[in-house]
Structure 1
Amino acid sequence: MPIDIERFEEDSVTELRANGRTNAEAILSFLASSPEQAFTPKEIHEATDVARGSVGVVLSRLEDRGLVRHRGEYWAVADDEDLETTLTALATARVATDRLGPEDPDEWGPGVETDGDDQ
């Protein structure tokens, strides 16, 4: 599925993957599927096909958000009751953006009316 060049240029923020899932979604889904286990970055890379160099960066961002935890070389999903909500929200946001376009009304283009706040 092709993406527009603006979205491509923002890759460092969105961490896009060709199948439409973000690297964060892929890693978080993988870890959530085995909450009783912890994995090394290499094992996560092999299971998710997220680029080896991206795994550590994504894990750090997920840890900053309280979604994963680690000890030594091992990473696991966080003990968080809101994890399923987070995974569902990520998937819903991706589908909504694909169907409805970007969230920022300035990116919608000419001819699209907003609620009138900027008049």
Structure 2
Amino acid sequence: MPISSAEFDQYEPPTHPETNAERVIRFLVQNRDQAYKASEIVAETDINPNSIHPVLTRLEDRSLVRHKEPYWTIGDYSAVKDAFVFHSTAQFLDDELGPESREEWLSAVDNADEDDA
């Protein structure tokens, strides 16, 4: 549905806070010719030091970063690109249709189980 020019001038698009994983990936892509210690990534991204290793480990599990103790660098570029496209698509769908609800999913499973009984 179109909006007026006055509404457009006042419109603020929704903002989505960047996750720790996104901050790490963005930093490592921008510095793809370097490898960093976790503490250096913390210093550059302002991620809580207690959160960095779980984030890096999850990213490594998805081939988005590579690790050789004690250094971390960006991972497979095609995996990073695919993850970005997936994230962008999911964000668009959330914006258009609303975010998914875990409770709705669980309720649907419960209802399906009842129907099968």
Matches within 5 A, 1:1-119: 20-104=17-101, 107=104
Structure 1 stretches of at least 4 aligned residues deviating more than 4 Å after TM superposition: none
- Contact 2:63 / 2:79 at 8 angstroms: preserved in 1? no
In structure 2, stretches of 5+ residues that fail to align are: 1-15, 106-111
Number of residue equivalences: 95
Indicate the percent of aligned positions where both proteins have the same amino acid.
39
In structure 1, stretches of 5+ residues that fail to align are: 1-18, 109-117
- Displacement, 1:36? 1.3
Q: Which is greater in Rg?
A: 2
Cα distance change of structure 1 residues 33 and 82 upon mapping to structure 2, 3 Å threshold: same
Relative contact order higher in (CA < 8 Å, ≥ 6 apart)? 1
**TM-score between the two structures when normalised by the length of structure 1:** 0.64
**TM-score between the two structures when normalised by the length of structure 2:** 0.64
